[in-house]
């Protein structure tokens, strides 16, 4: 699908529907930033097919988002959150029957974009799966040369200033023990917990790369999808 007329231009995506289901069958929805890379390099769809076959998660429709101008869109850009919530999701609701609130996932800047979208549109997503998020902070991260450093650090600072829960989404963070984002992920998890959010953080083996993110799917993503499905039935 191509979603036109959004604040960041056209958004390209692919929708993967489980075999044997139809558009009008209400199914949970998983939306993945950097979706094609998640599929090709972290074998996201294969992991979900296997888990579904084993009865660990229900069948999910999966939206694979093309990043486009990735840094400009994903680096704490509120226009990207607006495009996702106000344009992409309504188009999906028109084309498919959905069960419950979607789960949103991403890695690195995609994790940051996932949190930003729910932060500015609370209640849109039922769950967030954030891998190695680029939650940059001054005096913690040596990334000042990144072109959107100021925008990212301002958003992270705003999150840290919140004193009460902003979203009821279940938030699961994972981060590799051998990567540079470990400290800021720990701090983000502590910040969210202190303001009353439903959050967990797990340090996993690995680095800031697709194989490490793939290894964290089981059990962390699978457990989150199972929980999101059970909550939608309550």
What confidence tier does 109 reach under pLDDT thresholds 50, 70, 90?
Answer: very high
Q: Tell me, what's the pLDDT at 232?
A: 76
Mean pLDDT of 80-93: 98
Highest mean pLDDT among 15-19, 62-66, 145-149: 62-66
State the pTM of this model. Answer: 0.96
Average model confidence (pLDDT) across the chain: 94
**Domain extent at residue 214:** 2-233
Domain CATH number, residue 154: 3.40.50.1820
What totals of helices (H) and strands (E) does the chain contain, helices first? 10, 8
Residue 142 has pLDDT above 70, yes or no: no
CA distances from 30 to 5, 123, 162, 200, 203 (A): 23, 15, 27, 19, 23
The number of folded domains in the chain is 1
d(CA 32, CA 231) in angstroms, rounded, equals 20
Residue 193 has pLDDT above 90, yes or no: yes
Residue among 130, 117, 131, 200 at smallest CA distance from 166 = 117
Residue 141 has pLDDT above 80, yes or no: no
What confidence tier does 176 reach under pLDDT thresholds 50, 70, 90?
Answer: very high
Mean pLDDT of 11-39: 95
């Amino acid at each position: 699908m191509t979603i036109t007329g959004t604040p960041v231009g056209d958004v390209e995506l692919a929708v993967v529907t489980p075999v044997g289901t139809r558009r009008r069958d209400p199914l949970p929805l998983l939306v993945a930033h950097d979706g094609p890379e998640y599929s090709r390099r972290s074998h996201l769809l294969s992991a979900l097919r296997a888990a579904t076959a084993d009865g660990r998660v229900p069948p999910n429709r999966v939206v694979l988002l093309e990043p486009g101008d990735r840094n400009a869109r994903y680096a704490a850009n509120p226009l990207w959150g607006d495009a996702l919530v106000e344009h992409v999701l309504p188009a999906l609701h028109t084309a498919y029957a959905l069960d419950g609130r979607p789960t949103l996932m991403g890695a690195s800047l995609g994790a940051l974009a996932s949190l930003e979208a729910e932060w500015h549109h609370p209640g849109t997503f039922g769950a967030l799966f954030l891998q190695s998020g680029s939650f940059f902070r001054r005096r913690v991260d040596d990334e000042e040369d990144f072109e959107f450093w100021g925008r990212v650090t301002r958003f992270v600072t705003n999150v840290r200033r919140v004193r009460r829960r902003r979203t009821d989404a279940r938030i699961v963070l994972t981060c590799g023990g051998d990567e540079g984002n470990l400290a800021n992920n720990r701090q983000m998890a502590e910040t969210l917990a202190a303001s009353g959010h439903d959050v967990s953080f797990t340090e996993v083996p690995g680095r800031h790369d697709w194989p490490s993110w793939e290894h964290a799917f089981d059990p962390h993503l699978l457990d989150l999808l199972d929980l999101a499905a059970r909550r939608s039935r309550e």
